[in-house]
Structure 1
Amino acid sequence: MPTAMLLHAHPDDEVFANFGWAYDLASRGYDVIGVIATGGEANELHATASLREARTRRIEKYERALDMLGASAWTWLDASAGWVDAPSGPSLAGAAPDQLRVGVERLLTQHRPDIVLTVGSDGLTGHPDHVAIARALSTATNRGSVPEGVWGARLRADDVRAGGVLVGSHAREVQVGSGRVVGTTARLVARDVRSSAAARRRALDVYREGLGTDSLESIVSGADRIGDSIVLRGVFDATGWGQEYYEAVSPDHGSTAARQNAAC
């Protein structure tokens, strides 16, 4: 059975970045495994002051989302590192690059995935933790051993602008997003992910009630701030939920046949 690895900084990155392609791989018989570096605690600290409880809450959501995606299991990038997504504690972005690279190399050696899906060189959203993950994969000395390639999700600049306009049409003098989500004008590989759209909407709901299935207008009007997750929802709506875009994390990512298989 071929193996697909989803490698990310936080729980929920797999839904925003790679859900469609991963869903397709699972439906085609790939054993899909998730890898995260932190527990995504920041998104749960509004509900609890306990970092441990925040991690537990987020991991429960991660496991539910992976079930919807068709993944079989998940693991930590480096369980001994103690990285957290929180105002205090060791951060992924602050980790030594060599530590991240070695962790990635260890995972690739251990699991020998046929394909790896992650975020592109800009981290998809510009988040420093995301960028650190993309950099670690790009510098891993054994990344060339992945037969079907290492692929990073990107957004097109035109789609980001369209999504921002759509979100902004429902906002009233409120800042929209962090400003880090900008997209790219570079040529990307497109994946048709229409078959996974409904499941992706439900998976977004796991992380934030209604984020995938409520109307964008109701999400914006009910939010105390317009974060990047809402910006990405706007991008999905603006583009029809039908495609994901990718760049090869390294130019020697795999065979010509693998590249042709990835292209639409």
Structure 2
Amino acid sequence: MRTALVVHAHPDDEVFATGAATSVLSEQGWNVVLRVATAGMHGASDHLSASCELLGIADWDWLGAPDQWIDDGGRNSSRTLAAAQRYDVVAAVEAAVDKLQPELVLTVGSDGLTGHPDHIAISQAVQRIQCRALGARLRAQDVRAGEQLVQQLAPGEHVGSGHVKGCDVPLQEIGGASEERRRQALDAYYDGLGSKPLAELITTHRASSDGLLLRAVFDATGWQQDRFEELTASSAAPSSR
């Protein structure tokens, strides 16, 4: 059985960045496993287990030692991935690769998908390994479409953090996933963020939230696919629907 290793900084990244791809690969017979570096802002292991079950991820564990790194909500702690010695993060990814022997590694793209420093640190570490890797990216046109949806509901409000920009380069697509399951996986973390109408969410979530922006991007362009850049030179992408 082919193994795909998914590597992320925080719980919920597996939904926003790679949720469609893991579902598709699992349906195609891949053994999909997740390694996550931090427990996120609120200690989300129960939510993570529910999300993995919905997204076709067979099991998850910590990248590195438990509590080795933390998500400090942007307060610049010395224990974040962004502040860590790069060789420590690379060593943790290499250890997971050596143990699992994956045919493919999925993570976020070189821009961290949302520009989050922890995401970028994970992407940079994955780029150092000797294994084929794909990094999730957004198209700039899709980000603009999501921004327009939010602006229509919250005119005059600043949309997103300003760090979600997308790109204009060709990307590989893995598509054909269940929209319902990805919505449910997002709900496992945030009540209604996957399932409630965007017009309702705008009353309870800040327009400047990147989570809300990503939800709007999915609404504007589809929940069933993820797009990737090649992080390491290798052969063609796995088949997609």
- Tell me if TM exceeds 0.5: yes
Could you tell me whether the CA contact under 8 Å between 2:24 and 2:174 is conserved in 1?
no
Does 2:105 match 1:116?
Answer: yes
Does 2:16 match 1:16?
Answer: yes
User: 2:85 maps to which residue?
Assistant: 96
| Aligned partner (choices 111, 136, 145) of residue 162 of structure 1 | 145
| Aligned partner (choices 45, 54, 65) of residue 79 of structure 1 | 65
Structure 1: which 4+ aligned runs deviate by more than 3 Å? Answer: 260-264
User: 2:218 maps to which residue?
Assistant: 236
Say which SS state the counterpart of residue 34 (structure 2) adopts.
strand
Structure 2: 5+ residue stretches without partners = none
What is the TM-score normalised by the length of structure 2? 0.93
| Aligned partner (choices 100, 105, 118) of residue 129 of structure 1 | 118
Q: Count residues in correspondence.
A: 238
**One-letter identity of the residue aligned with 2:30:** Y
- 1:247 and 1:224 mapped to 2: Cα distance? 30
**One-letter identity of the residue aligned with 1:62:** L
Percentage identity across aligned positions?
A: 41
Could you tell me whether the CA contact under 8 Å between 2:78 and 2:84 is conserved in 1?
no
Does 2:205 match 1:219?
Answer: no
**One-letter identity of the residue aligned with 1:183:** G
User: 2:186 maps to which residue?
Assistant: 204
- 1:106 and 1:154 mapped to 2: Cα distance? 25
Say which SS state the counterpart of residue 261 (structure 1) adopts.
coil
Report how far residue 262 of structure 1 moved: 4.3
**One-letter identity of the residue aligned with 1:261:** P
Structure 1: 5+ residue stretches without partners = 42-53, 144-148
Does 2:219 match 1:246?
Answer: no
**One-letter identity of the residue aligned with 1:25:** L
Could you tell me whether the CA contact under 8 Å between 1:38 and 1:83 is conserved in 2?
yes
Say which SS state the counterpart of residue 174 (structure 2) adopts.
strand
Q: Would you tell me which structure has more helix in proportion to its own residues?
A: 1
User: 1:7 maps to which residue?
Assistant: 7
**One-letter identity of the residue aligned with 2:47:** K
**One-letter identity of the residue aligned with 1:123:** G
Report how far residue 216 of structure 1 moved: 0.7
* RMSD between aligned residues: 1.7
Could you tell me whether the CA contact under 8 Å between 2:135 and 2:230 is conserved in 1?
yes
- Indicate how the Cα distance of structure 1 residues 230 and 262 shifts in structure 2: closer, same or farther if over 3 A, else same: same
| Aligned partner (choices 150, 155, 158) of residue 133 of structure 2 | 150
